[in-house]
Structure 1
Amino acid sequence: MAMAQQQVRLITGWEFLKQDLGGIWEAVRPVTAGNPESVPLWQKVQLPHCVNATDAVDPDVNYYQGPAWYRTSLNINNPYANGRTLLHFEGAGQKTEVYVYTTKVGAHTGGYDEFTVDITDAVAAFQQTGVCKKQFKGKVPVSIRTDNSRDLEMIPSSLSDFNVYGGIYRYLNLVYAPALSIDKLFAQAGTDAAGKQGMLDVRARWYNPLHLDSATITLQLSDPQGKTIQQATLPATSLQQEMQLVKWNIKKPQLWQPDQPFLYTVTATITAKGQSFTQTEQVGFRNFVFEANGPFMLNGKRLLLRGTHRHEDQAGVAAAMTEDMIRKELLLIKNMGVNFMRLAHYQQSREVLHLCDSLGILVWEEIPWCRGGLGGAVYQAQAKRMLTNMIEQHYNHPAVVIWGLGNENDWPGDFSTFDKEAIRYFMKQLNTLSHQLDSTRKTAIRRCDFCKDIVDVYSPSIWAGWYRGLFTEYKSSTEEEFKKTLHFFHAEWGADSHAGRHSENPDKALQNIKTGSGTDERSGDASLFGGAARASKDGDWSESYACNLFDWHLKEQETMPWLTGSAQWVFKDFSTPVRPDNPVPYMNQKGVVERDLTPKEAYYVFQSYWTTQPMAHIYGHGWPVRWGNEGEEKMVKVYSNCSEAELFVNNKSYGTKKRNSQDFPAAGLRWNVVFASGDNEVRVVARTGKTVVADTIQLTYETRKWAKPATLVLRKTAEANGIATVEVQLKDAAQVTCLDATAFVRFGIAGDGTLIDNQGTSSGSRYVQLTNGRAIIRVHTNGGKSVVSVQSAGLPTALLPL
């Protein structure tokens, strides 16, 4: 019996072209070195690869939206008699065409689904040609065109607050399968309300292009410890349609839950004509309920959903995150205390779902019907197809509890008409389709009040203290919205913060903000210009303010027993074409970590409320210089989940304080202290029982007053492994740093070195706002000499030889 089923990740050996070709012949025609017909020039790349790896955050250009090409030559040798050779795409954006030599073998529209292209017949035909043997020496040329051009009849809308990326930005696999294989294995695991009895329903759909008519199927279920607890062998009754395989009862299953995410393994093997294909899936036994006008229940117990959001976006690579990058990010999310995540605003990499299963993070996953209105037949067919793909491809994941049908569908702009009734009608179609495909999970949308009655779970827009009102209005406005819907969830709340910017008076702007008129985001609120006073426009975008806002929300959530939960927007800063004027241009900066996963101070606020592993963090690790009058008391805040903490400043104890989550800010762990002018050491020792944790920071206290900015001072602060760190400070005429300065600065370079920019981070952008009068950039020295420059409007340019 042959069972050589093979999958190879196609990572190396690719060439890339960021433009269109005149035709497929230009990708495969023979060329000779130096021949002018060898243009255009292709670039060597590895997969996954995003067309917009850097230009999405280039401060000076619109990001590229258009066609791009990838090409390679593959050794293809399928070990199965009559086997099938497939290209399995884990995701490519946004329209994809696939060619074997000059033959188009497949196409797909939808930037976030998985899809396969069967290249068997085209490969066989090409391998019989003289071109294969002579020009390609037996290899098979594969060319792939991706296209993320703006298209109003495609989702997501280009009005969306995220980049619609192009490229083969998830893994691509070469798959060898026998003539008969498993296309989809649906394993539905559940329990009774008490969690005492488990049920497993397994169905399968076959890939059978040769129309074989007989096969044998074996199924096996293993528990989390690897012990086989159920197995069966059965004949295939139909190989042309979906087939019910088994329904098993499992006594006292080990339940899947966030603190113990037990996973069982389903193994299915189909054998036909002496060849076998095996597929494994992991499932979890659990049950959940959104109580009517009440909390969320998992396995019969209330669980407050402590959530965040995730975009598939990373400094330097954009959407093309490797599994290692994804794993690092998901571990950071879990270690923040998260037990719930909304995947914004599209289905995400299979690795994300696997990690949510194994880490114990519940998931709301949604299709990219996001903003702009509702298109025509092509548009609607794509949305239904993507919903079907999302549910079928991620059906087995116990982490998933909600299928999202849309986001901000009350936001017009792509079409000359905006028809609420048409949107309602289509939303009903999606809701029905979702329940037909999966009756075990709930449907949800965020921010479209005129569709709130259609879906199972609804999240209104509540942005207390950012786009509207004050954060102290959070609880009252949430209670008001809670009463308007049967199953309430609060997705999206938070504040932008420019990493490294801190404030001695972060709430100063609040005195001009009107209260009592709602906390929802409305048209124009995201703009930095015009309209009523609001923190998003008039605030200082400091980490200090964001921490206070998070702190208040989290303390309030502990006193809301009816709350299902909430998801803070967003875990990581991400790029967006609609925010060119932000402190880091083209970045949504609401993350609790930067785009390169560097934690901001807010990360530790969440840890202090949501985690049990003892921790203590003094606010201000990224705040090297504080300021004020000599002898003036300054507040030091400590975020900790320990029961008590003692603060020391310059080895002097300021006493021990008890933690009380309702004592805002910092749950009572705050001290008013007097810093010495100049250098200071701040240390905290926190305790829970016999467990002790500590944290220390060093800071400078500046008592000198600064005048208006006069000069830019540029210096090298570090160099290691061929990378130099350069810092600019904005100083007055007396050389005192202007610690409240927020001007934009622009770095440049001449010589051998290159700036490490277009990262979308506070320290990886050549055009960026200052944080407390300073900014840094890093430089690849390339072993040579360079001159770094920095400019800011109205000031002399500064130069630094490296």
Structure 2
Amino acid sequence: MIKQRLNEQWEHYRGSLGGPWEVWRADKLHNHYNVPWKLVTLPHTYNGYDVMDPDGKYYQGQGWYRNKLELSNPYPKGRTLLHFEGAGQRTDVYVYTEKVDSHLGGYDEFTVDITDAAARAKEIERYAGRVPVAIACDNSRELETIPSDASDFNLYGGVYRYLNLVYVPQVSLAQVHVDTTLQDAAGSRAAGGQVKIHAKLYNPSCANETVKLVIALKQQDGVQIGQAEMILPIWQGEQEIACFDVPAPSLWSTEAPHLYSCSVTLTCEDGATTHNECFGFRTFEFVKHGPFKLNGERLLLRGTHRHEDHAAVGAAMSEALIREEMTLIKAMGANFIRLGHYQQSRIVLDLCDELGLLVWEEIPWCRGGLGGPAYRKQCIDMLTAMIEQHYNHPSVILWGLGNENDWECDFDYFDQQDIRAFMAELHTLAHELDAGRLTAIRRCEFCKDIIDVYSPSIWAGWYRGIYTDYEASCLTAFEHVDSFFHMEWGADNLPTRHVEKPFTGFKQMKKSEGATDERDGDYLLTGGEPRVSRDGDWSETYFCEMIDWYLKSQENMDWLTGAAQWSFKDFSTPVRPDSPIPYLNMKGIVERDLTPKEAYYVFQSYWSEKVMVRIYGHTMPVRWGAEGELKTIKIYSNAAEVELFLDGISLGVKRRDSQNFPCAGLRWETALHAGEHHLRAVAVRDGVTVTDELRFTYQTASWGEPAQLELTTEALADGRVLVEARAYDANGVFCPDSAAFVRFGLAGDGKLLDNLGTIRGSRLVQLASGRAGIYVDPYGGLPAAITVRDFVSAGGPASSLAAGSGDKRTYTSVVSAICEGMPTRTVVIETF
């Protein structure tokens, strides 16, 4: 097998065409028919920016890709394949104008055989032997497909995972599955293990011959531990081709993810091809009414969630970006990840194997209800594909069958018994396809008895209740299912928004018999019962305190299998237009571009083995209060002791106690005085010393209502310019708690670097602690004007833009030159 990525020389057109002939018609008509094709690199989505456009819904429709491939299959009777690692959401593949194949489903892999069509296309004289290939992707909404548009994530369109050109001989391997069993597995080794290899063939020409197979097993260090050779007649379906005994195998675990490899070389009359798979030995168990065990020992699953979404590129993340993200997750100390809410890239699963992250992966039957035969067939097809394609990954322990299937909205009927029957059908299918793993769902109480592992909805301190209700809520849910696993908890938090006093409105929260579940409509920012998600401050400060409480509680819940915070990274969503950054789910512990928030370090302080220390407030340049007022300085660390210095003077040493909330006791009360201050923390663990430091200004001057904005610019070394707006009252005093929406605009040269879904990459955004910024690409010169409009609103962080009232007022502000030697500009700032 010869395989190469087809990344370059693709042209893209976003929009509908009358058919594949219109892709190539310009070639025939000598450019008299012009469609604006744009050169792109795969992976690519045509929704990379518009999902974060605050002024309109993202595009859902056709997008076309075209290329003229130079093909050279070295096998005399070989097949030429296009292997898609993922494309959304419906894909048609054409060779010239001949439709070769179609695929429904935005997240599973599929392969298209273009051999015969390519041979015919090579005869087209004007292409000089190159093969014209066109791909039509379509993410238009259709009710009878999954996922639902009511889902809290975007349905990206495009070839947003890698596309591979593959040459195989006349007969090749289509699939290799590796099954492992263990004897007396515990700790890091087992008494013995067995490996069975199963394979399917790809034989479209129905060749009738024998094939030679050579199978080799290797340890992680490359030492070969087993080999077999055989000659077999060509077979149909899946067949066991080899079995090996492995004495005392090393076990795969989250701390020591030991991997083995299996190579299968098939030789037929037409040539040879090799298929490589990694696998591992491990056992796991969700103890009935008890904890989780890996390799016979209790392991608290400490997890997060991942969406395939990133600033500027949407779902079209490169391998390097994916590795950066997964490495950050592991460095946080996580040992588990739920891949929400769909099958994800093979690169992600490979990294979970490599890094030691246990996985719950699921199909995108998410919200909306249950459709008809075509809808159900897609669920079955995608479950089958997910299990078959990710079967060998030792990291996978749970196959997710659905998410929030109690959320009706897509159909004018909702039949719980019908959903139960179909859920049972999927559960049976999953076990038929893979007897070694369990099934799971989240939030569908009327189906919780059908599957193996269940997660209810518990959002203590956000959508319902208060965060101190967390342990009691979990224990109540635990007692009503065989295997409880808490998926999804957290809080929206605007990056760089900090408060001196976290949200204190708990007395307003109506405790409906301690209910902490999210209900339909709770995610909305108006109406309904009092709740932190509606009435809170959406600050990093509150989020860190919530995390702190959850994690210190989990340490003492010896019956708990585990829990996973939602979600590791901020991500785009069509159902949250009123967020402080519109269309962004802001529950991440890193920003959409992987910039860590303060929350990341709270997790590290509980989970990471590597010594760390972090003073809270690196993105809080201004603190405020009365002169000499006692203020709390918080530090997060996993060291036993930490010493804090304020302006070079030691404030003493504190010992860490995880149950001493907040900050595990690493907090200091000290009087602050107006002016600049410097903090430095020193922590030692196992002979390793780490430090952290920051500077801030303490403001004692009181302020009134925001009355004006000051706009400043800073030229950066990479050529960008940071433009920042700060709120001041009528007396010119900075307003560090201002949270109004502001809109940046630009006229003339340059462009705003916006629609990124980050705190400095959004032209419409709420002020965070009295300030907001955006990056500008000046194209080598100063824009004619940069404008900021302030929508004054008396509401909380989620107030509608339409809530602004009052007379239009005009202010002028002086903006410093962007480039050295450029004149100072006067910018008009309109305030509503």
Partner of 2:145: 154
SS of 2:374's equivalent?
A: helix
Partner of 1:308: 304
Pairs within 5 Å for 1:439-454: 439-454=435-450
Question: How far apart in 2 are the matches of 1:288 and 1:689?
Answer: 31
Work out the CA distance in 2 between the residues paired with 1:393 and 1:441.
14
Q: How does 1:707-786 map to 2 (within 5 A)?
A: 707-786=704-783
Shift of 1:15: 0.7
Q: d(CA) in 2 for partners of 1:251 and 1:37?
A: 68
Cα displacement string for residues 692-746 of structure 1 (whole angstroms, at most 9, x for unaligned residues): 2111010000000011111111000332222101100011111111111110000
1:62 is matched with: 57
Query: What's 1:479 paired with?
Result: 475
1:139 is aligned to 130
The aligned counterpart of 2:4 is 8
Please name the residue that 2:531 is paired with: 534
- Which residue, out of 27, 31, 45, partners 2:40? 45
Counterpart-to-counterpart distance in 1, 2:29 and 2:351: 46
Please name the residue that 1:427 is paired with: 423
Deviations 1:611-661 (A, max 9, x none): 111100000011100000000011011000000011111111111110000
| Aligned-partner SS, 1:259 | coil
Alignment of 1:257-406 (within 5 A): 257-273=253-269, 275-406=271-402
- How far apart, CA to CA, are the structure 1 residues paired with 2:31 and 2:333? 59
Secondary structure (helix, strand or coil) at the match of 1:261 reads coil
* Residue among 173, 176, 179 paired with 1:182: 173
Secondary structure of the equivalent of 1:159?
coil
Q: Distance in 2 between matches of 1:154 and 1:32?
A: 37
Cα displacement (A) at 1:33: 9.6
Residue of structure 1 in register with 2:827 after alignment = none
- Partner secondary structure for residue 612 of structure 1: coil
SS at 2:376 equivalent? helix
Q: Distance in 1 between matches of 2:674 and 2:184?
A: 63
Q: Kindly provide the amino acid, as one letter, of the partner of residue 220 in structure 2.
A: P
Q: Do the aligned residues in 2 keep the contact of 1:712 with 1:795 (CA within 8 Å)?
A: no
Contact 1:790-1:797 at 8 Å conserved across structures: no
Tell me the SS of whatever aligns to 1:351. helix
Q: What is the one-letter code of the residue matched to 1:562?
A: W
The one-letter code of the counterpart of 1:335 is A
1:796 partner SS = strand
The more displaced of 425-434 and 717-726 is 717-726
Q: Which residue of 2 aligns with 1:119?
A: 114
CA–CA distance in 2 between the matches of 1:203 and 1:16?
40
| Mapped partners of 2:505, 2:541: distance in 1 | 13
* Pairing partner for 2:789 from 785, 791, 796: 791
Compute the displacement of 1:32 (Å): 8.1
CA contact (8 A) 2:78 2:270 kept: no
Offset at residue 241 of structure 1 (A): 2.2
Which residue of 2 is the match for residue 519 of structure 1? 516
Match of 1:89 in 2: 84
Distance 1:193 1:602 in 2: 40
Secondary structure in 2 matching 1:236 = strand
Indicate conservation of the 8 Å contact 1:87/1:119, yes or no: yes
Match of 2:603 in 1: 606
* Aligned 1:69-84 pairs, distance under 5 A: 69-84=64-79
Partners of 1:550 and 1:363 in 2: CA distance: 22
Structure 2 distance, partners of 1:89, 1:797, is 54
Instruction: Tell me which residue corresponds to 1:570.
Output: 567
What TM-score results when the alignment is normalised by the length of structure 1? 0.98
Deviates further, 650-659 or 483-492:
650-659
Alignment of 1:185-224 (within 5 A): 185-194=176-185, 195-213=190-208, 214-224=210-220
What secondary structure, in the 3-state scheme, does the structure 1 residue paired with 2:588 have? coil
- Aligned-residue offset at 1:200: 1.1
Q: How many residue pairs end up in the alignment?
A: 793
The 1:237–1:500 alpha-carbon spacing in structure 2 relative to 1, beyond 3 Å, is same
Distance across 1 between alignment mates of 2:250 and 2:514: 49
Residues 77 and 743 (structure 1), Cα distance of their counterparts in 2 relative to 1, 3 Å cut: same
For the 8 Å contact 1:148–1:166, the answer to whether it is kept is yes
Checking the alignment, whether the CA contact within 8 Å between 2:263 and 2:277 is kept in structure 1 is yes
Return 785-794 or 399-408, whichever deviates more: 785-794
* Amino acid corresponding to residue 63 of structure 2 in structure 1: A
1:767 and 1:331 map into 2 onto residues whose CA distance is 31
Quote the residue 1:622 is aligned against: 619
Amino acid at match of 1:197: G
**CA offsets, 1:172-231, max 9 Å, x none?**
011111111110100112323423221211100000112223111111100111011011
Q: Does the C-alpha gap of structure 1 residues 274 and 11 become closer, same or farther in structure 2, counting only changes over 3 Å? A: closer
Among residues 162, 169, 181, which one is paired with 1:171 in the alignment?
162
Name the CA distance, whole Å, in 2 between partners of 1:416 and 1:689. Answer: 62
Q: Which runs of 5+ in 2 are unaligned?
A: 792-807, 819-832
Q: CA 1:726/1:269 → structure 2, altered by over 3 Å: closer, same or farther?
A: same
Bigger mean CA offset, 534-543 vs 186-195 = 186-195
Following superposition, the deviation at residue 235 of structure 1 comes to 2.0
Residues in 1 aligned to 2:30 and 2:139: alpha-carbon distance in whole angstroms: 32
Native 8 Å contact 2:211 2:234 kept in 1: no
SS of 2:120's equivalent in the other structure is helix
In the TM superposition, what is the alpha-carbon distance from 1:554 to its structure 2 partner? 0.1
Amino acid aligned to 1:139: R
Q: For residues 597 and 399 of structure 2, what CA distance do their matches in structure 1 show?
A: 30
CA distance in 1, matches of 2:646, 2:191: 55
2:182–2:281 contact (8 Å) kept in structure 1: yes
Separation (CA, whole Å) in 2 of partners of 1:531 and 1:608: 36
Q: CA RMSD in A?
A: 1.2
SS of residue paired to 1:578:
coil
Distance in 1, Cα, partners of 2:299 & 2:207:
48
Which residue does 1:548 correspond to in 2? 545
Deviation, structure 1 residue 679: 0.3
Specify the code of the residue in structure 2 equivalent to 1:105.
V
Amino acid at match of 1:734: N
| Aligned 8 A contact 1:365 1:403 in 2 | yes
Please state how far the C-alpha of 1:524 moved relative to its aligned partner: 1.2
% identical equivalent positions:
54
Partner Cα distance (1:245, 1:304) in 2: 37
Local SS of the residue matching 1:280 = strand
Q: TM-score, normalised by structure 2?
A: 0.94
SS of the equivalent of 1:142 reads strand
Matched residue of 1:386: which SS?
A: helix
C-alpha contact 2:45 2:314 (8 A) present in aligned 1: yes
User: Which string of whole-angstrom CA distances, capped at 9 and with x for unpartnered residues, describes residues 134-185 of structure 1?
Assistant: x112211000000000000000000000001100000001111111111010
Q: Secondary structure at the match of 2:776?
A: strand
State the Cα distance separating 1:7 from its structure 2 match.
1.1
Amino acid at match of 1:122: A
Quote the Cα distance in structure 2 between the aligned partners of 1:594 and 1:529: 25
CA–CA separation in structure 1 for the residues paired with 2:31 and 2:25: 12
Residues 412 and 797 of structure 1: is their aligned pair in 2 closer, same or farther, counting only changes over 3 Å? farther
Amino acid at match of 1:690: G
